[in-house]
Amino acid sequence: MEFTLDKRLQGFQLIAQEKLQAIICSIPGKKDLIIEQTLIKPLEHVCAASWLKLKGIQRIFKFDAEHIIPRTAEHQVLVYIIHSKLQIFQHVLRHIHQLERQEPTDMDAAVKNFHIICVPSCFSHFHNLLEEEGLYGLVQLHRYNWDFICLDQGVLSMEIPNVFATLFLRKDTSLLPAIAQSLRLLQAVCGRPELVLTFGEHSANLVKMLHKLGKLGNDSSNKEVPSEFSTMLIIDRDKDYASSLLTPAIYAGLLLEVFGRRATEIELQTTSNKISLQKLAIFQLPRIEQQKQTANPPIDKLRSAKPPSIRMNVLSDQIYGENRYKHFAQASSQVRAQAKTIGLEVQKLNDMKLDEMHDYVARKLPKITELKTKVMHHLNASEQVIEMLGGNFRRIQSLEEDILNNVARKRILSEIDELLTSDGQKYNTLRLLCLLHICAGISSDEVIQFARNYCNYFGQEHLAAFQQLAMAGLLPVAWEEERANTPAKLLSNLPIPKFQQTEFQANANRLRLMVSSAGAEQSPASLGAGSSSGSGTTANGASGCPSYVFNNLYIPITAQLCSYLLKAQSAEDFATKLGMVDKLTMHLADGTALNAKSYANSVKLNDLRDIFPMRKQNIFVFVLGGVTYAEIGACELVSRINGSQIIVASDTIITGGDLIAGAF
């Protein structure tokens, strides 16, 4: 029986269910489940609450660090599901200590009353901590990894929120084995690709782990699964910081800039959002006063009412599916037009006869009512995006363009300082400074001056965030350079012209990521409904170049690499375009690892077979450290232009603000 790619990807849910069932059914006795709140929505993509109850779970609770869930019976087993984070693990142990004091457990009992399921890994220091806390033998630890969750068509996520902070900020590689195991399972489900292309040190290490792990099952008895992908592209987040730091121009990207995401769902909170929460309190006064003037519903109603939400999934929300990768101005205009159309449709009821009205109410009205609700949610969401970002959007876009083109650095620095004073955003202002360092480079004196002003606004405790960002290469290591009076620093003070390129500038030139403003008409950098999405738009509202996701300023590296892979006619053609890019490695099916130039030379000597042009136009893209909707939208456009299928996956979906927030 032939399975389509979509059917194979849906198989991850069944595998995740089998893994969870094996853990739950291995625990005897009556069980209560306590789930960390951030895991609830991703777990809903694996199984429902009714499925858990069929497997022996009696009650399900949300985990709260401040509130201890008591056992409902004498020998009730408590099962905790938490992220693999030390702080949360310590909170769980504190709860277990408290429960043990209230009702001591018989040490000789065969059944352990406490079980902790860690997602996605159970680290060795967790076992050590159990022993230190005197709980070894009372608590059973389990490792659970649901691998990939299908969030949307062509979008997979592992829903591990702390990979960037762990791997790039703290240089801790403990999460890499779990990611490698998931990629190994992907190859078992979808087949081994002919080529694995890695860009970055951690990506190359992932492939080494994959080769050491080998295939799943017995190779001699299992037939090789036919590959659904010709190429797997794995890229480190630090190889394209610009795509995460730039402000997106597409609908899905800007929704995530303002609203928090829980798996596929975003909640449209009217009182707070990601932008308002990161602003200084003094800038919240006008918004708070405006909210006080509106009619306040009763407190009981506020507690019981569920906030409206938008599901960022094509199958669940047709309006989102039509607009997700469109320029925001065009998407918001279309949502307004749909709202007017529905209003006119409802008015038709007044002109209907009685029998027509009965038929209309029975058949069409429920669908129109549901559609109207979704349209109103999107309309409210777009209005909040305009309210939160519209005031500075044009200015930010212009500033980002100057940063990319390395124009007037002193003016850019002064504008970033001014934004810190006038807008007071905790993450987004620092995000601009990081973008400036990545694209053009900033000195230690400049970052020290900014850090001084920043800490005066937000508090001296945030000084450590600058050191964390320096660890990831987002800022210079300022304080160490200041203390070291080295010959290199003395030479840097001399008036000698500098011709050194940053890594970003080198890769942008080699991969042709920058879009010349002289060569194409720029779309207006506005969030208003009257703006267009640029000249030469396709049927989906996107310009013919993937740079449309950033207002025709920049092409994400993932999209450009996919384009080169799909268009390459020979190994020599591929090497001509990518041979000069450092740390871009080709891993062949037999385990050979070499760069594009070496591969082309081997093909010339008939030592290796030329895999270009690719026989199957399907690519799997994995971004290690978080992917943005701008990158997903750019890859989707490349796939439509080339008539291919590109599946984009990552450990989580992020924005530039989320990236910076990881350092705090």
SS3 266: strand
What amino acid occupies position 506?
A
User: Is the pLDDT at 408 greater than 90, yes or no?
Assistant: no
Average pLDDT on 235-264 reads 95
Structure confidence at residue 288 as a pLDDT band (50, 70, 90): low
The residues pairing with 78 across neighbouring beta strands, listed in sequence order, are 32, 114
**Cα(348)–Cα(360) distance, rounded to whole angstroms?**
10
Average pLDDT on 587-616 reads 92
Least confident piece of the model among 169-183, 302-316, 543-557, 621-635: 302-316
**How do 584-588 and 114-119 pair as beta strands?**
unpaired
What's the pLDDT at 634? 97
Structure confidence at residue 280 as a pLDDT band (50, 70, 90): confident
CB 146 within 8 A of CB 16: yes
What's the pLDDT at 63? 95
Q: Which residues contact 352 (CB under 8 A, 6 or more apart)?
A: 360
Average pLDDT on 560-583 reads 94
372 vs 638: which has the higher pLDDT: 638
What's the pLDDT at 365? 75
What's the pLDDT at 503? 85
What's the pLDDT at 381? 94
User: Is the pLDDT at 607 greater than 80, yes or no?
Assistant: yes
User: Is the pLDDT at 233 greater than 90, yes or no?
Assistant: yes
Percent of the chain with pLDDT over 70: 85
Residue-wise pLDDT tens digits, 144-153 = 999 999 999 9
Average pLDDT on 21-29 reads 94
What's the pLDDT at 110? 55
User: Is the pLDDT at 266 greater than 60, yes or no?
Assistant: yes
655 vs 533: which has the higher pLDDT: 655
Structure confidence at residue 374 as a pLDDT band (50, 70, 90): very high
Average pLDDT on 93-109 reads 78
**Cα(628)–Cα(256) distance, rounded to whole angstroms?**
9
What's the pLDDT at 251? 97
What's the pLDDT at 550? 96
- Mark 350-360 as b/e (b = at least 16 C-beta within 10 Å): eeeeeeeeeee
User: Is the pLDDT at 247 greater than 70, yes or no?
Assistant: yes
Average pLDDT on 191-210 reads 95
CB 430 within 8 A of CB 660: yes
User: Is the pLDDT at 570 greater than 70, yes or no?
Assistant: yes
What is the rounded average pLDDT for all residues in the chain? 86
User: Is the pLDDT at 220 greater than 50, yes or no?
Assistant: no
* Alpha-carbon distance values, 590 to 208, 587, 608 (Å): 12, 8, 11
Least confident piece of the model among 55-59, 177-181, 277-281, 422-426: 277-281
User: Is the pLDDT at 61 greater than 90, yes or no?
Assistant: yes
- Dig out the tokens for 244 from the structure: 């995460």
Residue-wise pLDDT tens digits, 315-334 = 999 999 999 999 999 999 99
Average pLDDT on 484-498 reads 49
Kindly state the greatest CA–CA separation across the chain. 92
The dihedral built from the CA positions of residue 274, 275, 281 and 284, taken in this order, carries a sign that is: negative
Average pLDDT on 384-410 reads 91
Average pLDDT on 11-26 reads 95
User: Is the pLDDT at 43 greater than 90, yes or no?
Assistant: yes
110 vs 514: which has the higher pLDDT: 514
**Cα(625)–Cα(642) distance, rounded to whole angstroms?**
27
- Dig out the tokens for 69 from the structure: 């869930």
Residue-wise pLDDT tens digits, 334-368 = 999 988 888 777 676 667 777 667 776 677 778 88
Structure confidence at residue 369 as a pLDDT band (50, 70, 90): confident
Domains and CATH numbers, the chain: 5-146 (3.40.50.2060), 148-246+554-664 (3.40.50.1910), 406-504 (1.25.40)
Residue-wise pLDDT tens digits, 508-555 = 999 999 986 433 444 446 676 544 444 345 545 456 899 999 999 999
User: Is the pLDDT at 441 greater than 50, yes or no?
Assistant: yes
Structure confidence at residue 290 as a pLDDT band (50, 70, 90): low
Best CA proximity match to 548, nearest among 564, 531, 565, 529: 531
User: Is the pLDDT at 29 greater than 70, yes or no?
Assistant: yes
User: Is the pLDDT at 227 greater than 80, yes or no?
Assistant: yes
Q: What is the pTM of this model?
A: 0.91
User: Is the pLDDT at 295 greater than 70, yes or no?
Assistant: no
242 vs 362: which has the higher pLDDT: 242
